[in-house]
Structure 1
Amino acid sequence: MPRTIFCEYEKGEAEGLDFVPYPGELGQRIYAHIGKPAWAAWLAHQTMLINENRLSPRDPKHRKFLEEELEKFLFGSGAEKPAGFVPEQ
């Protein structure tokens, strides 16, 4: 039976994640308060950020930027799309 949580991103009940998706305290917070659909939305947004900004997950500055965006996206007022981003038609 899936774990149900109150998702802070969707502001409602959602199926909880199966595992802690990120290291440390932030990962525990995500596991406890973010549902699967919200995490999937973050992964899509993160992919867009990496591609549009040409980020490298190996670069510590880029990882810090992605972590800040992760927190804003899931727990803050939302993250902005990259400047000049135009979605595919």
Structure 2
Amino acid sequence: MPHIVFCAKYKAELEGLDEPPFDSDFGEKIYKTVSKKAWGEWIERQKMLLNEYRLQPWTREAQEFLVEQMNGFFFGEGEGGALPKEFVAPTH
């Protein structure tokens, strides 16, 4: 039976993740409130952020920045979730 959540991003009941993405309270919050659909969209956004800002994901600064962005993307908190000013969407 799939794990169903009330998705914070879509404000609807959708299938949730199979397990928490992180071993932390924040990972548990995502597991309980973010759908697979929204998580997949976050993964694509994260790739774009890593590339646009030339982030090194193993650094503490990059990780903190991505958590801030993730909070904004899912929960509308803080500056996160906004696209970089320089971002140009691919055309294909």
**TM-score bucket of the superposed structures, by smaller chain:** over 0.9
Could you list the structure 1 runs, at least 4 aligned residues long, displaced by more than 6 angstroms after superposition: none
Q: TM-score, normalised by structure 1?
A: 0.94
- Residue 84 (structure 1) shift: 1.0
Task: Give 5+ residue unaligned stretches, structure 2.
Answer: none
How many residues align structurally? Answer: 89
Identify the structure with bigger relative contact order (alpha carbons < 8 Å, sequence gap 6+): 1
Q: CA RMSD in A?
A: 1.2
Task: Give 5+ residue unaligned stretches, structure 1.
Answer: none
Residues 13-61 of structure 1 show CA distances to partners (whole Å, capped at 9, x for unaligned) of 1001101012311000000011100000111101100001000011111
Q: Quick one: percent identity of the two aligned structures?
A: 40
Residues 41-86 of structure 1 show CA distances to partners (whole Å, capped at 9, x for unaligned) of 1111011000010000111111110111111111116611112110
Q: TM-score, normalised by structure 2?
A: 0.91
Instruction: Give 1:46-65 correspondences, 5 Å limit.
Output: 46-65=46-65
Task: Find the aligned partners of 1:46 and 1:22 in 2 and give their Cα distance.
Answer: 15
